[in-house]
Amino acid sequence: MYDIKALYEAETVPQAAALLQEHPQARIIAGGTDVLIRIREGRLAGCELVSIRKLDELRGISLDPDETLRIGPLTSFSRITRDPLIQRHIAALSHAADQVGGPQIRNAGTIGGNICNGVSSADTASTLMAWDAVLEYTGLEGVRSVPIEKHYRDAGKTALNHDELLTAILIPKQRYEGYYGHYIKYALRNALDIAILGCSANVRLSSHTIEDVRISFGVAGPVPLRIRETEHLLRGKPVNQETIAIAGGASRSEVNPRSSWRASREFRLHLAEELTKRALKQAILNAGGSL
């Protein structure tokens, strides 16, 4: 049994925002794979819920007229994994979504929930950060756009106001065109486990040179993060093993993991170096480079 005080079913985005304002302690429920577990564990016992499952306009993947890739936050991980637009333009996100939980969780859980719970270990969060995604918030005062790096405030905390919903994940054409990426998740098990560390790398090559690169991490700090100094160091560098080794070494100075029962800080620092090298190497190969 689930200890739920009340469940409100929103029919529209404005109604969902109004319900959230009317019930300041209410939580949004979409797929329920995170919220229901916390209710059953007692951490959210007696809570009020605003369901947005009926908001079909928040599902699916499409291209806007300017070829911005638009991802609905209610899109399931399974849909993300097999969607042709995702596979064609940002295949690394398809791979990341397929690393979440098991088949049942991927069928029910949503990419929006994965981002809005604010945890650093979310597989799609660090991947979307490497794609420089922009998040669309909608509330009673209107719509605003927030770069994904500004979305994360602290562990479990985001920039969403209480009466706002995430209504779209946007990746402009200039941020995916010509880029190729790869995501690596290191966990104790191959399925049904959260990441000890996750790394996503995107590159755009020019001849045999790294023209641009974006590298992000999960569980390397309290929130998902980009390693911008390392990225700056790599731009203009030749595509070779020496450059990849430089990237691995530089990444250690930009992450700040903690020790936990899953892994020590020292092991996570070692993983940051190794996963940077592996993710960058595979991204280069995916981009048609050779090493």
Q: pLDDT per residue over 251-275, tens digit each?
A: 999 999 999 999 999 999 999 999 9
Mean pLDDT value across the chain: 95
Question: Which whole number is the average pLDDT over 166-193?
Answer: 94
Distance between CA 118 and CA 25 in Å, rounded? 17
Q: Which tens digit of pLDDT belongs to each residue from 130-152? A: 999 999 999 999 999 999 999 99
CATH 3.30.390.50: which residues of the chain? 180-286
Q: Which tens digit of pLDDT belongs to each residue from 184-214? A: 999 988 878 899 999 999 999 998 999 999 9
Share of the chain above pLDDT 70, in %: 100
pTM: predicted TM-score of the whole model, two decimal places: 0.95
pLDDT exceeds 70 at position 278: yes
Specify the pLDDT at position 37: 86
Distance between CA 97 and CA 110 in Å, rounded? 10
Q: State how beta strands 47-51 and 142-147 pair.
A: unpaired
Specify the pLDDT at position 92: 97
CATH 3.30.465.10: which residues of the chain? 60-173
User: What CATH number matches the domain at 60-173, 3.30.465.10, 3.40.50.150, 3.30.70.1350, 3.40.920.10?
Assistant: 3.30.465.10
CATH 3.30.43: which residues of the chain? 4-51
Distance between CA 19 and CA 17 in Å, rounded? 5
Superfamily of domain 180-286: CO dehydrogenase flavoprotein, C-terminal domain (3.30.390.50)
Specify the pLDDT at position 1: 65
Q: Which tens digit of pLDDT belongs to each residue from 22-73? A: 999 999 999 988 888 888 888 888 899 999 999 999 999 999 999 999 999 9
4-51: which CATH topology?
A: 3.30.43
pLDDT exceeds 90 at position 113: yes
